[in-house]
Amino acid sequence: MTELSLNILDIAINSVKAKSKHIEISISEDIKHDLLSISVSDDGMGMSPDKLEAVRRRSLDECGNEHEGLGIPMLRHAAEIAGGTIEINSVLGMGTAVNADFEYKSRHRASIGSMSDTIVALISAAPPDTEIVYRHSACGSEFVFDTKVMRGILKDISIAEPEVLMWIGSYIKDGLSQAGISDIN
């Protein structure tokens, strides 16, 4: 994957597959402490301790041709080459949380890329009643996007209507730039 926003989309699609009703994505750019933190958490079906252990252990080389479950190893690789780590926690029936840390200034760190495209794609991909919250902070300012706010306005109109999605894309781009965050960084 060429940008971290694609890894984020991939992990969040796992949350959709796990029948989550609520998916929360957080990005924190702490340049002062040279730390980029990304987390995706959900209230989906979660994993058993055995499954979780297998997911934690799975590496990119072990996967071979079997692409199923490659998403976590790819994110781990992206974090580790940039001096970071990932942590996965999951409770069966409760949900899963994936956290990845990166050295912000590492020259091996992939760029975040377009989060507006990732959120638009995720809304399209998820069942219409999925709540998606996206928080992005950098240098003391924060942008928060919450589908619940959008739904309050849209009422009986689907959030996945193309006109609505395009507006959401520009709303996120605009909100990030107001908060001093580039949508391609």
Partner 1 sequence: MKSLAELDAIRDKVKNRLDLREVKEDRTRIVVGMATCGISAGARDVLVEFVKEIESRGLSGITVTQMGCIGLCSMEPIVEVHSPGMEKVIYANVTPEKADKIIAEHIIGGKPVEEFAIGAAQTGGM
Distance between CA 56 and CA 115 in Å, rounded?
A: 26
Distance between CA 132 and CA 20 in Å, rounded?
A: 10
CB of residue 29 to partner 1, shortest distance in Å: 20
154 in Cβ contact with 128 (< 8 Å): no
Which of 71, 78, 134, 145 is close enough to bind partner 1 by CB under 8 A? 71
Q: Which is nearer to partner 1, 35 or 70 (CB)?
A: 70
Phi, psi dihedral angles at 160 (to 5 degrees): -90, 5
Binding part of the chain for partner 1, among 34-42, 43-51, 88-96, 148-156 by CB under 8 A, reads 148-156
Phi, psi dihedral angles at 41 (to 5 degrees): -130, 150
> Dihedral of the CA atoms 66, 69, 75, 77 (nearest 10)?
-40
Q: Is 182 in the site for partner 1 (CB under 8 A)?
A: no
Q: What Rg, from alpha-carbon coordinates, does the chain have?
A: 16
Q: Which residues 6+ apart lie within 8 Å of 152 measured at CB?
A: none
In the shown chain, the binding pattern of residues 87 to 126 toward partner 1, with x for contact by CB under 8 A and - for none, equals: ------------------------------xx-xx--xx-
Q: Which is nearer to partner 1, 49 or 127 (CB)?
A: 127
Q: Is 18 in the site for partner 1 (CB under 8 A)?
A: no
Q: Is 133 in the site for partner 1 (CB under 8 A)?
A: no
Contact footprint for partner 1 (CB under 8 A): 1, 6, 9-10, 13, 16-17, 67-68, 70-71, 74, 117-118, 120-121, 124-125, 149-150, 153-157, 160-167, 169-171, 174-175, 178
